[in-house]
């Protein structure tokens, strides 16, 4: 909470010493309000003269059974959660409007309720009849879930304290308001207060709480970033409107690996989990064509094969265009610069388009070599050898650096029928991978051996 005499922006949470019509941090107008201090008292005693209650301390070596996890039966969701739902956990789920957050959580609520958890679904955006209608469309009309339509934090906490549920889903945290905070619902102050109270309730009473969060145009969860620090898990539900695939990505998890992903497919009957996403992402791939390269990546603990597509064409404009979908545009500019400076292959006067097939977003540096191969393949109009996967990191000097989990990448490629792989020299492998491996030490050697250029 802000200090006495300070003002806070309800849009971005920036703190100002005085009121002004426009926030200097985010540029919003009429969004700065004065916040009351958390407590006031004598000088030097911010908590007043009353003493608190002593804390109960235990030894680290105290042997206690870990809390049991509850499996939902949705394998992709359980994977992202780290092996199931942990009691007393607080989970924040964000995603674009209409991406399927409510559908996924309603399906998960039905599964958890079927596993024996007392489950509440509290919606601040829909009436109970609307939620029931969606459940019937998904074939979940008989699920033992308690529904409610409420936005008052006091009413929600009172109901939770009296009913003592095992799992509560709040859809969404931006609609919940506290009558102790003088701000509009969805503001920074309201979201922070509601998230704090719900998270504290989860820790005190052993109830798992799942909060749905809206996202901004930048893709970040709306509201103060402190909410992401409060909760135990932060999940993002991603996907492109034009693709049926949906990616549930973990960016924070106190009970399992971060950066884990779960893959779902949007169908007429809801979201269906995809047990083998590599085969699905490569399902539309036909005969080898110029500009198409298969990359063997790692998402969390899961190896994943995706197709990198590139198109290089002459441009009539003075400034060539660089368009990227599913990858970092700045890293593409770096790869183009290395190809020109170290290999003598210019891309001036050429438009460059790069796409990750299937709507997946790739962030690991191991995709550098696959991107360079796709760009060269498109520029030279030469297809790479069939059934070949490529991965490796490119340094600014043009050297190829080995990447982690090389063996898992090769095993996934072999499982899907690939017979060859192009990798950097020095990668750690144990045993026979079953693939014909081609090791490259630098980008110049790769260009000369594969494309005969440079």
Q: In degrees, to the nearest 5, what angle opens at C-alpha 352 toward C-alphas 348 and 354? A: 150
Q: 3-state DSSP call for residue 406?
A: helix
Instruction: Find out whether 346 is annotated in a ligand binding site.
Output: no
C-beta atoms surrounding 177 within 10 Å: 22
The burial of 148, by beta-carbon neighbours within 10 Å (0-12 exposed, 13-18 middle, 19 or more buried), is given as middle
Query: Which residues, 6+ apart, have CB-to-CB distance to 66 below 8 Å?
Result: none
Structure tokens at 336: 């183009």
Structure tokens at 278: 């590599």
List Cα–Cα distances, 41 to 2, 20, 37, 47, 183, in angstroms: 16, 28, 11, 6, 24
CA distance 219 to 208: 25
- H/E segment holding residue 346: none
End-to-end CA distance of the chain: 60
Query: Do residues 25 and 12 make contact, with C-beta atoms less than 8 angstroms apart?
Result: yes
Instruction: Find out whether 351 is annotated in a ligand binding site.
Output: no
Instruction: Find out whether 291 is annotated in a ligand binding site.
Output: no
Q: In degrees, to the nearest 5, what angle opens at C-alpha 179 toward C-alphas 173 and 181? A: 80
Indicate the pairing of strand 261-267 with strand 270-273. antiparallel
Query: Do residues 413 and 436 make contact, with C-beta atoms less than 8 angstroms apart?
Result: no
Give, as one character, the DSSP assignment of residue 366.
G
CA distance 29 to 25: 11
Instruction: Find out whether 152 is annotated in a ligand binding site.
Output: no
| Chain centre distance of CA 194 | 23
In the block, tokens 């999940």 appear at: 235
Q: Provide, for the chain, the percentages of residues in helix, strand and coil under a 3-state DSSP scheme, each rounded to the nearest 5.
A: 30, 25, 45
Closest CA to 293 of 395, 365, 366, 378: 378
Q: At what angle do helices 188-205 and 153-163 cross, to 10 degrees?
A: 10
Structure tokens at 129: 């009849």
CA distance 387 to 422: 11
Q: In degrees, to the nearest 5, what angle opens at C-alpha 184 toward C-alphas 179 and 190? A: 60
Instruction: Find out whether 219 is annotated in a ligand binding site.
Output: no
Instruction: Find out whether 67 is annotated in a ligand binding site.
Output: no
Instruction: Find out whether 186 is annotated in a ligand binding site.
Output: no
Instruction: Find out whether 257 is annotated in a ligand binding site.
Output: no
Binding site per annotation, positions for ATP: 95-102
Annotated binding site: 95-102
């Amino acid at each position: 909470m802000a200090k006495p005499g300070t003002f806070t922006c309800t849009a971005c949470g920036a703190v100002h010493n005085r009121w002004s019509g426009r926030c200097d941090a985010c540029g919003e107008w009429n969004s700065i309000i004065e916040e009351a201090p958390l407590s006031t008292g004598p000088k030097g005693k911010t908590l007043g003269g009353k003493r608190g209650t002593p804390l109960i301390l235990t030894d680290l070596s105290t042997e206690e059974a870990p809390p049991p996890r509850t499996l939902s039966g949705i394998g992709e969701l359980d994977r992202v959660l780290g092996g199931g739902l942990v009691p007393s956990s607080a989970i924040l789920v964000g995603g674009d409007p209409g991406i399927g957050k409510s559908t996924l959580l309603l399906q998960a609520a039905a599964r958890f309720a079927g596993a024996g958890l007392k489950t509440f679904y509290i919606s601040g955006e829909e009436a109970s009849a609307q939620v029931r209608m969606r459940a019937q469309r998904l074939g979940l009309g008989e699920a033992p879930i308690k529904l409610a339509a409420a936005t008052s934090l006091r009413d929600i906490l009172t109901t939770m304290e009296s009913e003592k549920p095992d799992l509560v889903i709040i859809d969404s945290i931006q609609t919940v308001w506290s009558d102790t905070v003088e701000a509009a619902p969805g503001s920074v102050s309201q979201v922070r207060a509601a998230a704090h109270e719900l998270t504290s309730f989860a820790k005190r009473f052993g109830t798992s709480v799942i909060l749905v969060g809206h996202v901004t145009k930048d893709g970040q969860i709306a509201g103060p970033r402190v909410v992401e620090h409060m909760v135990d898990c932060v999940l993002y539900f991603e996907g492109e409107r034009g693709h049926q695939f949906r990616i549930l990505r973990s960016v924070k998890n106190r009970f399992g690996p971060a950066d884990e992903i779960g893959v779902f497919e949007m169908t007429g009957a809801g979201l269906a989990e995809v047990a083998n996403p590599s085969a699905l992402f490569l399902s539309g791939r036909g005969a080898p064509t110029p500009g198409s390269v298969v990359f063997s990546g790692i998402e969390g603990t899961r190896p994943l094969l995706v197709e990198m597509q590139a198109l290089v064409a002459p441009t009539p404009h003075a400034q060539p265009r660089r368009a990227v979908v599913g990858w970092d545009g700045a890293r593409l500019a770096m790869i183009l610069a290395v190809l020109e400076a170290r290999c003598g292959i210019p891309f001036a006067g050429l438009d460059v388009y790069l796409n990750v097939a299937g709507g997946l977003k790739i962030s690991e540096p191991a995709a550098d070599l696959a991107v360079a191969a796709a760009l060269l393949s498109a520029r030279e109009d030469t297809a790479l050898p069939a059934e070949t996967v490529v991965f490796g990191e490119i340094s600014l000097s043009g050297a190829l650096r080995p990447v982690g989990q090389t063996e898992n990448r090769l095993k996934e490629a072999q499982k899907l029928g690939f017979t060859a792989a192009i990798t950097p020299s020095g990668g750690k492998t144990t045993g026979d991978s079953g693939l014909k491996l081609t090791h490259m030490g630098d980008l110049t050697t790769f260009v000369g051996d594969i494309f005969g250029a440079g």
